[in-house]
Amino acid sequence: MNIHRTNSGSVIETDVCVTGGGPAGATIARRLALLGHRVCLVEKARYPRPKVGESLTPNILPLLETLGLRDRIEGDSFLRPDKSIVHWSGAREQLNYQTDQRGLLVDRGRFDYLLLESAREAGVTVLQPAQAMRPILDEDDCWHLPIRYGVESIEIKARYLAEATGRHSLLGGKRTRCSAPLIALYGYWRNTNFDTSAIRVEAGLEEWFWGAPLPDGSFNATVFTDPDGCRGMAGRVQGLDSLYLSLLAGSSLLRGGLTGTLAGRVKACDASSYFDDNSINEHSIKVGESSFSIDPLSSQGVQAAINSALQGSIAVHTILTRAENSAAAIDFYGARQREAVELHRNLSAQYYAESRFRDAGAFWQKRSDVVSKSFPVESETSPILFDHLRLNLSDSARFVATPCVTGNVITNIPALTHPNLERRVAYLKNIEALLLFDSFPQGGTVADIVRAWSRYFPRNDSLETLDWLCRSGILVPAH
């Protein structure tokens, strides 16, 4: 990292500037530094800072493992909830025990601090508290970012910009809503008489409730509702606190336990989901909630932000080190973001559709339309495999150049497409699909194919692969 002092302030020259040090910013900064790039990250808040979004599902654990941080996070003093009390679809509430892996209930101030520290340890220069202002790309494709750093005025010059500023974008661009607007009203309670190991989730008539204990002994009770409904109620109740308390009074799971006191003010924030369809180009990338935001109902926002930053780090590394693969990197990242948006939009719509108030009002109906088509995954006439069965590659199967991760970069690899496949398939059991079909004896028997593939797979792996290809309709019986 080069730092020059000039009459008008300091100039930092770096390869990548990351704006925002939440989970997405810390992740992409750490990964790019470990891949050998000079990275400077700018975070406007002093850490630890308060942040809502404390429930992490067990699916976050493999991502933390990829980051090399799983032991550190699991070893910290976060809670591991072992049950949830849910009053959602049925007439009665249900008590669900976590039988396999448990998720985490974290203090986001501490969790985000640990992630940012790990970026620092990987060699990232962190400016904090420092606010990035609107960046400018000059004619030589160099970014200039004015930074407010205490009384100092700093300029960062960077070859590449990674925006991770969450819901507040510096780069601008068009964001499209993925669902009806949603607002969250939340407060932290002390001295409640709730069981400290359970998460509580409940569907209300025009809202849903979420509550959970936190590592510092407080309890977060949140109401998610329609901002229009809130505006309507605001005429009847005075102030945010009263609005929050009157909504909470409608929750059978939360109102009873909230015998304690509210610590601090009630807060309100936008919780609507959106996506930015232009989240990457040759000069900049948007990661985490700068790229898309999902409905909080799934408690997977942090995980989605880390995942997008992991994928983003490979795309940026490819753009910076293999310019000839930039188009593939841009396609790859854009496609993964769109897939994630679609997946979470459908998941949320399904959860909303399962609510016991599904037919009772607009709040539920406008959130429960499943938007994307579903694909037939298996062929209805899947043949039973026996050694003499002869198989052909279906006429509808094709190989198409597709951007895939190979090591730490993205390259175009021929991948299998078929109308029954939701996604293109470049590898089958870690072997390039094209290699397998190059040696595929068209019209050959199962025994011939197993023999031809024996240089790649043991027999059982060949049979499993053949079985999947037949059930997907990619291989069909030869007549």
Ligand X SMILES: Cc1cc2nc3c(=O)[nH]c(=O)nc-3n(C[C@H](O)[C@H](O)[C@H](O)COP(=O)(O)OP(=O)(O)OC[C@H]3O[C@@H](n4cnc5c(N)ncnc54)[C@H](O)[C@@H]3O)c2cc1C
Q: Look up residue 436 and give its two tokens.
A: 């397998």
Contact between 24 and ligand X by CB under 6 A: the answer reads yes
Residues 215 to 244 in contact with ligand X, rule: CB under 6 A:
222
Q: State the nearest-atom distance from the C-beta of 416 to ligand X, in Å.
A: 33
Nearer to ligand X, 240 or 434 (CB): 240
State the amino acid at position 344 in one-letter form. Answer: H
Q: State the nearest-atom distance from the C-beta of 60 to ligand X, in Å.
A: 7
Nearer to ligand X, 4 or 168 (CB): 168
Q: State the nearest-atom distance from the C-beta of 88 to ligand X, in Å.
A: 16
Cβ count within 10 A of residue 100: 5
Contact between 64 and ligand X by CB under 6 A: the answer reads no
Residues 154 to 213 in contact with ligand X, rule: CB under 6 A:
164-166, 168, 170, 184
Tell which one of 131, 242, 417, 420 touches ligand X (CB under 6 A): 131
Nearer to ligand X, 312 or 334 (CB): 312
The CA R_g of the chain, rounded to the nearest whole Å, is 26
Tell which one of 17, 18, 23, 469 touches ligand X (CB under 6 A): 23
Tell which one of 12, 21, 188, 428 touches ligand X (CB under 6 A): 21
How far from 389 is each of 143, 265, 351, 392, 469, CA to CA, in Å? Answer: 61, 71, 43, 10, 14
Strands 83-87 and 198-203: parallel
Contact between 42 and ligand X by CB under 6 A: the answer reads yes
Sequence-separated (6 or more) residues with CB below 8 Å from residue 374: none
Strand partners, 475: 393
Burial class of residue 264 (count of CB atoms within 10 Å of its CB; 0-12, 13-18, 19+): exposed
- Cα torsion 405, 406, 411, 415 to 10°: value is -70
- Cα torsion 469, 471, 476, 477 to 10°: value is 120
Tell which one of 22, 204, 211, 312 touches ligand X (CB under 6 A): 22
Contact between 45 and ligand X by CB under 6 A: the answer reads yes
Per CB under 6 A, the segment of 18-26, 310-318, 325-333, 363-371 that binds ligand X is 18-26
- Cis peptide bond prior to 215, omega within 30° of 0: no
Please tell me the count of residues contacting ligand X according to CB under 6 A.
36
Sequence-separated (6 or more) residues with CB below 8 Å from residue 86: 93, 94, 96, 200, 201, 202
Residues 273 to 332 in contact with ligand X, rule: CB under 6 A:
288-289, 296, 299-303, 305
Contact between 349 and ligand X by CB under 6 A: the answer reads no
Q: Which residues are at the interface with ligand X (CB under 6 A)?
A: 19-25, 42-45, 52-56, 131-132, 164-166, 168, 170, 184, 222, 269, 271, 288-289, 296, 299-303, 305
